[in-house]
Structure 1
Amino acid sequence: MTRLSFIALFAIGLLASLVASAPNVLAQWPDRHGPSHDGVVADADAEGLPIHWTDTENVAWKAPLHDEGHSSPVIADGKIWLTTATTDGKKQFVIAIDEQTGEILHDRLLFENAEVEKLGGAVGFNNYAAPSCVLGPSVVYVHFGSYGTAKLDAKTAEVIWQRRDLPCRHFRGPGSSPVLYGNKLVLTFDGVDQQYTTALDAETGQTLWRTDRTTDYEDLGDDGKPLRDGDMRKAYCTPAIVPVGDQLQILSVGARAMQSYDLETGDELWTLRHKSYNAGIRPLWIPEEKLAIINTGSRGAQLLAVRLDASTKGDVTDSHVEWVRERGNPRFAKPIQHDGLIFQVTDNGVVSCIELETGDELWKKRISGDYLASPILAGDRLYFFNQSGLGTVVKAQRDPEVIAVNDVPGMATTACPAVSSGAIFVRGKEHLYKIQSP
């Protein structure tokens, strides 16, 4: 080896070691469900996560938040991003927080709305800052449904482009988060007046395609009346983008049916009919099994395993469903797969463990409280955070085992937790918390 080659190799090794040891260089949680969109924490971050915490123990800091929002924190390059809005929806903000110190770096009023559609349903069910941000290289995409979508510079929080011309009557407020894949930003609008998916050019914000749902909403409901209004057309689902054969497909669950679209063209590829509405759970893709785990919605929510391949076309309701779980399924919290098992938590706190291959239930166990937030998986540990401030840690295994129950009322949350650099970030109603061992 020449002296020059040795110096080059030494420099590369030194740089690699510096990058590996530098905080936040590689640690990222760019989407509400993590880097792989499935709630699974990278091994490097999972090992050091704490199991026990109080309002002071293993809490590195808590940063104050104003107004309200359901959006989950996303993290890249040492910054945490989330959104918030006034109760009346007239003002909508994006906030950036320093990952290490909890300092508020940006608090930007992004959109002001002279007229706002009232939120239907129970008080507190939704608000005007429910969709989460998604992060690209040095940029932030912020979405408030029909009220506006914007691309921001992640260093300055300055607007690069914005769109306020994507209409939808949300009825109970927006809920679907944007999905970034390559040069496409995919947005989902499932309202009472129109239901469609659109892809924007992530660089310019221009519309690349729009595809309306082909669902037959005139079908009769259980009461014999047409499904024309309100919840019967409404959904909150963030889609999954998955590779099937040599094609990238957008799996999007709506009311009464789900569709798959070609990411490149927006063409509908296949559809699956169901009887639920208000779908709000992102499909879970298990590539090694070529299975999509689908939750159909709120009323009579089913959990289905749908097998996909390059030949999957048309109506697959009666041809591609491997198994159906009829009862005991959540409305909001996304399931997690680990070691051939599916774990999920219902709205009222029943955790179930399901055999992936068959859909058979192996066990179920009640943990206290009500749940909107999706769990995360770190190694073989599941973390559940509820609306009362309980953080419950459960072993992801074939037998039920609760490791820890942590009660911090300030951590009452409706947002998915995020993980970066060995810390968990939980959005409470008034503060964002950083949970980390000393």
Structure 2
Amino acid sequence: MTATWSWLVGWSIVLSGVGTPSDAREDSSPAGVAGNVWPGFRGDGRSVTVARNLPLEWSPQKNIAFRIRLPGYGQSSPVVWKGQVYVTAVEGEQKEKLHIVAVRLRDGRVVWHKEFSASQKGRNNPMMSRAASTPIADEQGVYCFFESGDLIALQHDGKLRWQRSLSQDYGAIKNNHELASSLAQDAQQLFILVDHSGPSYLVAIDKATGKTRWKADRPSRTSWTSPVVTQVDDTTVVVVASGDTVTVYDAATGKVLATLDNLVGLNIASPVAEGEWIVLGAGVNRLKPDAAASARSNCLLRLQHKNGQWSLSQVWPGKKAVSAFASPLIYDGHVYFLTREGMVHCLNARTGEPRYVERLEDEVWATPIAAGDRIYFFGKKGITIVLKSGAEFEKLAVNRLWTPEEYAARLAEARKEAEKKLPPPPPGKGPAGGPVVPPEEMQAVRYATVGDVVYAVAAVDGAFIVRTGTELIVIRQPTGTSSR
């Protein structure tokens, strides 16, 4: 195997702790997810952890350490920094209240809870984003971004460091379903993507001061993807996949280094990057459906820098797999894509050739987490499927956060409450103003974010931290027991 392709097998083997010095586990830099931190969306952007002693099995009566009710409603991932979990939420008829909560991982005690006023109001109902942007944590504290454009930096003890509003600085954010892009980071900067029907942009914010370091204007387009940070040679770059285009920016200056057009459906699932290699997750555009074109866009790209010139090219196109809400995962030489119907597609990362296609017991909105020789698929209804990583489909466990009866009862109650807020779809159109959809699909879309939806999960040594719209659930087996 050449060095060029060695990452495809070795990339995540190294991260899973094989041959990793023990002191590397305490690395808390944005470049690696140590066992006691989960600093941002998908950890460090790859959804791979070196966390040890993660539970394999759980149920409502087994290995649930605690559940706590959160204020308001939130769709962001929890982030973890050395024993402290941070979550965000919004509340109020117009999402006028912004919540940031710090929870002690050991026992679920709320360490502090801060509330802020939104600088831009929005509709609060299941058809809209509700605190969907995942925060970022580092040694200095936590940075939180909301769909209102508010950006807030707090110390780990909850003290305010700085605060600003991008909607006030750069114009109101206008997006059907509103904004959902999560923060990305390097050592000194935060990167925020605001793609919407107004003037769009990618902005770099100084972590220490909250001031803008650079701002790159972008064409207006609707998207909910998140930027990712990677390094090629000695250059740190920011990769943005949105609409039909992938754009690579110099993280230091905001200069566009490379672009690739003529792709499809890069609106929800975010890319994953390691060095010069980028995997895209693309969905089907309901307004202009082309399943074959969407499948081709679930692909592997290569970003190269030769003789002072940057280029971005497709290594292999996808064939059948498409993405929905979960971003792709690359691990142990394989790529995993998740469809809206709950199908997992496993592909050879080097060639793009399919290994298997199987239906899981639940739809999966959260990006799966890879750890050791396992991949955890946290389904939106609280069913988690654990697979053995690799080319063969091998199921290790199926776990539930609620019994089927309990889940059904809670969902029925949540739907009653949602009826009070859900607006009727436009006459003769779908719920977002698109083409008319069948009644069954209409119901599914309108109620998709009602009830105990599992939006995201964080992993640290010995525990998973699950985020639903209204709860934080920690899964942890008793000390001294084996996770097999």
TM-score if structure 2 supplies the norm length?
Answer: 0.75
Aligned to 1:195: 200
Measure the CA separation in 2 of the matches of 1:271 and 1:146. Answer: 29
**1:41 maps onto 2:42 in alignment:** no
Q: Is the 8 A contact 1:145 1:189 kept in 2?
A: no
- Tell me whether 1:415 sits opposite 2:455 in the alignment: yes
Q: Superposed, which structure 2 residues align to 1:204-219 within 5 Å? A: 204-213=209-218
Contact 1:353 1:362 in 2 (8 A): yes
Give the superposed CA RMSD.
2.4
2:350 equivalent in structure 1: 357
Specify whether residues 395 and 84 from structure 1 end up closer, same or farther in structure 2 by C-alpha distance, changes over 3 A only.
same
Output the amino acid matched with 1:421: D
Aligned counterparts of 2:191 and 2:274: Cα–Cα separation in 1: 21
Per the alignment, residue 378 of structure 2 pairs with 385
The answer as to whether partners of 1:117 and 1:171 remain within 8 angstroms in 2 is no
1:129 aligns to 2:131 (yes or no): yes
Letter in 2 for 1:256: D
Q: Which residue of 2 aligns with 1:50?
A: 55
Distance across 2 between alignment mates of 1:341 and 1:269 = 28
In the other structure, the counterpart of 2:305 is 310
2:178 aligned counterpart, secondary structure: coil
Contact 1:118–1:171 at 8 Å: present in 2 too?
A: no
Pair 1:369–1:313, CA change in 2 (3 A): farther
Q: Find the partner of 1:96 among 89, 96, 102.
A: 102
CA distance in 1, matches of 2:128, 2:262: 24
Deviations, residues 146-191 of structure 1 (Å, cap 9, x unaligned): 4300111111x12211111243323321111111211111111001
Match of residue 62, structure 1, among 54, 61, 67: 67
1:250 aligns with 2:258: no
> CA 1:66/1:117 → structure 2, altered by over 3 Å: closer, same or farther?
closer
Higher helix residue share: 2
Structure 2: distance between partners of 1:149 and 1:166: 13
Residue 116 of structure 1: how far off its partner (Å): 2.1
How far did residue 38 of structure 1 move?
Answer: 0.8
Within a 5 Å distance, the mapping from 1:273-288 to structure 2 comes to 273-277=261-265, 279-287=267-275
Tell whether the 8 Å contact from 1:235 to 1:277 is kept in structure 2 after alignment. Answer: no
* 1:275 CA displacement: 4.4
Alignment partners' CA distance in 1, 2:331 and 2:233:
23
Report whether the alignment pairs 1:78 with 2:83. Answer: yes
Q: 1:402 is matched with which residue: 382, 395, 399?
A: 395
State the alpha-carbon separation in 2 of the partners of residues 154 and 349 from structure 1: 38
The answer to whether the Cα contact below 8 Å between 2:330 and 2:336 also exists between their aligned partners in 1 is yes
Name which of 147, 153, 163 aligns with 2:155. Answer: 153
Structure 2 segments unaligned to the other structure (5+ residues): 1-21, 27-33, 286-290, 408-450, 479-484
Scaled by the length of structure 1, what TM-score is found? 0.83
Moved more, 79-88 or 96-105: 79-88
- Matched ranges for 1:152-191 at <5 A: 152-155=154-157, 157-164=158-165, 165-167=169-171, 168-191=173-196
Match of 1:334 in 2: 327
Between Structure 1 and Structure 2, how many residues are aligned? Answer: 387
Q: By how many angstroms is 1:327 displaced?
A: 3.3
Q: CA deviation at 1:298?
A: 4.2
Distance in 1 between residues matched to 2:230 and 2:268, nearest whole Å: 18
Q: In 1, Cα distance between the equivalents of 2:223 and 2:67?
A: 33
Q: Separation in 1 of the partners of 2:355 and 2:195? A: 35
1:292 alignment partner in structure 2: 278
Which residue number corresponds to residue 435 of structure 1?
A: 475
1:307 corresponds to which letter in structure 2?
R
| Structure 2 letter corresponding to 1:207 | T
In 2 relative to 1, CA 137–433 (structure 1 residues): closer, same or farther, beyond 3 Å?
A: same
Q: 1:393-415: CA deviations, max 9, x gaps?
A: 11111111111111223694342
Q: Alpha-carbon deviations, 1:54-83, whole Å to 9, x = none?
A: 112101111111221110000013110010
Alignment partner of 2:190: what SS? strand
CA deviations on 1:77-97 (whole Å, 9 max, x unpaired) are: 311001011263121111111
| Structure 1 gaps, min length 5 | 1-15, 218-232
Q: Aligned partner of 1:41: which letter? A: T
Q: Out of 292-301 and 59-68, give the one that drifted further.
A: 292-301
Deviations 1:10-56 (A, max 9, x none): xxxxxx99x98xxxx9611111211x4211111xx23x111111112
Deviations 1:116-169 (A, max 9, x none): 2447xxx635423000110011311010034300111111x1221111124332
- The amino acid across from 1:151 in the alignment is A
Partners of 1:350 and 1:365 within 8 A in 2: yes
Q: 1:8-27 to 2 correspondence within 5 Å?
A: 27=36
Q: Distance in 2 between matches of 1:340 and 1:266?
A: 32
Note the C-alpha offset of 1:308: 1.6
Gap change, CA 1:297 and 1:251, over 3 Å in 2: farther
Aligned equivalents of 1:126 and 1:56: distance in 2? 34
Q: How far apart are 1:199 and its partner, in Å?
A: 0.3
Q: Quote the residue 1:221 is aligned against.
A: none
Alpha-carbon offset, residue 435 of structure 1: 0.6
Cα distance, 1:259 vs. partner? 0.6
**SS of the counterpart of 1:417?**
strand
Indicate yes or no: 2:118 matched with 1:112: yes
Deviations along 1:218-268, one digit per CA (max 9) or x if unpaired, are xxxxxxxxxxxxxxx211111111111221111001122121000000000
- Sort the Cα spacing of 1:109 and 1:417 in 2 relative to 1 into closer, same or farther, 3 A: same
Report the Cα distance in structure 2 between the residues aligned to 1:321 and 1:109, rounded to whole angstroms. 45
Task: Measure, in 1, the Cα distance between the counterparts of 2:453 and 2:302.
Answer: 34
The one-character-per-residue Cα deviations of 1:280-306 (angstroms, maximum 9, x if unpaired) are 22321234xx32111244424321211
2:464 to 424, 427, 432: 424
Per-residue deviation at 1:371? 2.1
Percent of counterpart pairs with the same letter? 25
| C-alpha separation in 2, matches of 1:238 and 1:246 | 23
